[in-house]
Amino acid sequence: MDAVFSGLASGFEVALDPFNLFLVLAGCFAGTLIGALPGIGPINGVAILLPIAYGLGFKPESAIILLAGIYYGAEYGGRISSILLNVPGDAGAVMTTLDGNPMARNGEAGKALSLSAIASFVGGTFAVVLMSFFGPALASYAIHFSPSDYVALMVFAFASLASLVGSNPVKTLLAAVIGLMLASIGIDANTGVARFTFGIPDILAGIDFLVVVIGLFGMAELIHLVEQQAAGTLKTLKIDKSFVTMKDLAFVKWTILRGSMIGFFIGILPGTGASVASAVAYGAEKRAARDSSKFGEGDMRGLAAPEAANNASAGGAMVPMLTLGIPGSGTTAILLGALLLFNVTPGPLMFQQRPEIAWGLIASMYIGNVALLIINLPLVGLFARMLTIPQQFLTPLIAVLAFIGVYSVVSNPHDLYMITLLGVFGWFLRKLQFSLAPVILGFVLGGLFEDNLRRALSISGGDWSILLTSWNSVILYILALLVIVVPIVVGRMRRSRGEDESPKAPA
């Protein structure tokens, strides 16, 4: 423990150096702006700005602190276009649209933005605190999570998403299967066989998650806007001056904490990141809610849970990278690359050999989180004004932003056609009352489920009993069962007692 405190003290000394402090703030601000662009999230933000940071010739700790600021800022910024435009800013912000955008439509954009900033802050800080005190222990737990345990985790994730089932269960199931089918396109990760690619090189490696998200959500939203505009049912929203209140925060405090815990736990596992974390947090929250009828129509819990989770998972993902040198996700792989570029090798030795970087980075995360909260809250009003842009200009703007987001990262015009096609498909799904969230979740979870199941069976040589050999798996299967059964049983009991189930949520 003493080592942690002395490490943190020396880290804060580095991070509070006026120049480094300035870099954290600058990075957070730039990151927020980049993250707010649909399609450009933390990974791409850091990757794109990495050469600049390198070219500026800063000391390694300063450059890393700048990049960490950008990374954190982008994570915060991702929620902005989710809430305001119903276009997810990045992969982790998909679930944020479900309740965040309805809140904005109800004239509570300011409240949604400020509440999500606070949820992000709590989630991010929660993760950094746990990381600085229990990092090595958590990391060694995370690597013992075997492929068969991932299978159990995916079963749990699917179970907690049972709460997403809408009025027509068959359509929900079909939507999820469509997502799973989309994910099966491309080279099979186990045998290297191409599936459903028809010789088109652009989809050999599968359809990029970003393209699916921007297409199904962003472009479908665009088509939806034009349709409403043509029908004359679309009105420009008034400037809303709403802001989060203490009462709201009291209402969601446990939601935020639960979301942070789920997000952090899923984040530290290599291979699962913010998108899985926020999906599970949302599903579990809805499942756990006494009255879940408002979810999807602007329930604050449906906004707070995924936002706390995706920021906590971003912090959690740093744990195996910093303590073991294992990049667990795309985001941490690029940060690992950044460290290597500065001749710093992450891993246990970093804390001994380059403590100024290791602890300086951790301290800068504390500062970054606070800075982001301070930067973001005053900006809420400014961002909320975005909604007052006249529709005839806001609509083309969404398309341009989506095109920039998709093109600037990979420069492949093929992706532009893909988002348009997926947008048309997504619009039809919406019109026919399929919900889009199960499609996305099927897409995210399906690949992980199949790959890990087959990995587990390769390890066991085809013996299925491997799926039940670890406590991690058994506990997750029990949890999965509970998530499905408990709400049903509780609901029955309550009904038989004739308990009043009137909504508790403040309007």
Partner 1 sequence: MADRIFAGVLLVVAIGYTIIAFTVIHAPFQYDPLGPESWPRILGLVAIPCILFILARPDVASLGLPAKTWGRLAALVVMLFGYSYLFQPLGFIIATFAFCMALSLMLGAKLVPALAFSAGIGVVGYFLCTKLLELNLPAGVLTIFR
Partner 2 sequence: MTFFRTTAALLFASVVITPAFAQEIDRPECVAPAKPGGGFDLTCRIAQQGLEKQFDGPMQVTFMPGGIGAVAINLFNTTRTDDPNAIVAFSSGSLLNMATGKYGQWGANDVRFLATAGTDYGAVIVRDDSPYKTLEDLMKALKENPGGIVMGAGGSVGSQDWMKAAILMKSEGLNPRQMRYVAFDGGGDAIAGLLGGSIQVYTGDVGEMVSHLGTGEMRILAAMSDERLPAPFADIPTAKELGYEAVWPIVRGFYMGKAVPDAAYNKWVEAFQAAYKTDEWAALVKDKGLLPLDLSGKEMDADMKKRVERMTGIAKEAGLIE
**Which stretches of the chain bind partner 2, using CB under 8 A?**
43-44, 47-48, 50-51, 140, 142-147, 187-192, 199, 201-205, 208, 270-271, 320, 324-328, 330, 333-334, 336-337, 340-341, 343, 345-349, 409-412, 414, 451, 455, 458-459, 461
Q: Which amino acid is at 288?
A: A
Q: Which two tokens stand for residue 425?
A: 């498909």
Q: State the Cα angle at 345 between 342 and 351, rounded to 5°.
A: 115
Pairing of strands 186-187, 194-195: antiparallel
What DSSP character marks residue 168? -
Q: How far is the CB of 487 from partner 1 (least distance, A)?
A: 24
- Region from 172-180, 261-269, 289-297, 485-493 binding partner 1, contact rule CB under 8 A: 172-180
Q: Which is nearer to partner 1, 9 or 421 (CB)?
A: 421
Distance CA 285, CA 397 (A): 34
Q: Which is nearer to partner 2, 32 or 146 (CB)?
A: 146
- CB-count burial class (<10 Å; 0-12, 13-18, 19+) for 489: exposed
Which position among 5, 140, 195, 200 is part of the footprint of partner 1 (CB under 8 A)? 195
Binding mask 129-168 for partner 1 (x = CB under 8 A): ---------------------------------------x
Q: How far is the CB of 489 from partner 2 (least distance, A)?
A: 36
Q: Which is nearer to partner 2, 193 or 382 (CB)?
A: 193
Q: Which is nearer to partner 1, 103 or 453 (CB)?
A: 453
Which position among 18, 199, 378, 462 is part of the footprint of partner 1 (CB under 8 A)? 462
453 binds, among partner 2, partner 1, none (CB under 5 to 8 A by kind): partner 1
Q: Which is nearer to partner 1, 47 or 308 (CB)?
A: 47
413 binds, among partner 2, partner 1, none (CB under 5 to 8 A by kind): partner 1
469 binds, among partner 2, partner 1, none (CB under 5 to 8 A by kind): none
3-state secondary structure 450-471: HHHHHHHHHHHCCCHHHHHCCH
417 binds, among partner 2, partner 1, none (CB under 5 to 8 A by kind): partner 1
3-state secondary structure 350-418: HHHHCHHHHHHHHHHHHHHHHHHHHHHHHHHHHHHHHHHCCHHHHHHHHHHHHHHHHHHHHCCHHHHHH
Distance CA 53, CA 338 (A): 10
Cα 440 from chain centre: 12
26 binds partner 1 (CB under 8 A): no
* Residue closest to 221 by CA, chosen among 60, 356, 397: 397
Q: State the Cα angle at 113 between 111 and 118, rounded to 5°.
A: 95
229 binds partner 1 (CB under 8 A): yes
191 binds partner 1 (CB under 8 A): yes
420 binds, among partner 2, partner 1, none (CB under 5 to 8 A by kind): partner 1
25 binds partner 1 (CB under 8 A): no
- Region from 170-178, 357-365, 474-482, 497-505 binding partner 1, contact rule CB under 8 A: 170-178
**Other Cβ atoms closer than 10 A to 192:** 7
> Contacts with partner 1: how many residues (CB under 8 A)?
65
Q: How far is the CB of 168 from partner 1 (least distance, A)?
A: 6
What DSSP character marks residue 233? -
Q: Which is nearer to partner 2, 263 or 327 (CB)?
A: 327
Residues with Cβ < 8 Å from 492, sequence gap 6 or more? none
Distance CA 156, CA 141 (A): 19
Distance CA 63, CA 322 (A): 16
Binding mask 399-438 for partner 1 (x = CB under 8 A): xx--xx--xxx-x-x--xx--x--xx---x--xxx-----
52 binds partner 1 (CB under 8 A): yes
325 binds, among partner 2, partner 1, none (CB under 5 to 8 A by kind): partner 2
Q: What is the DSSP string of 130-173?
A: HHHHHHHHHHHHHHT--HHHHHHHHHHHHHHGGGG--S-HHHHH
423 neighbors 223 (Cβ within 8 angstroms): yes
Distance CA 189, CA 194 (A): 9
113 neighbors 383 (Cβ within 8 angstroms): yes
467 binds, among partner 2, partner 1, none (CB under 5 to 8 A by kind): none
Q: How far is the CB of 186 from partner 2 (least distance, A)?
A: 8
Distance CA 89, CA 310 (A): 12
Distance CA 341, CA 318 (A): 17
Strand partners, 186: 195
Using CB under 8 A, list all residues that contact partner 1. 30, 33-34, 40, 48-49, 51-52, 168, 170-171, 173-174, 177-178, 180-181, 184, 188, 190-193, 195-196, 219, 222-223, 226-227, 229-231, 390-393, 395-397, 399-400, 403-404, 407-409, 411, 413, 416-417, 420, 423-424, 428, 431-433, 450, 453-455, 457-458, 462
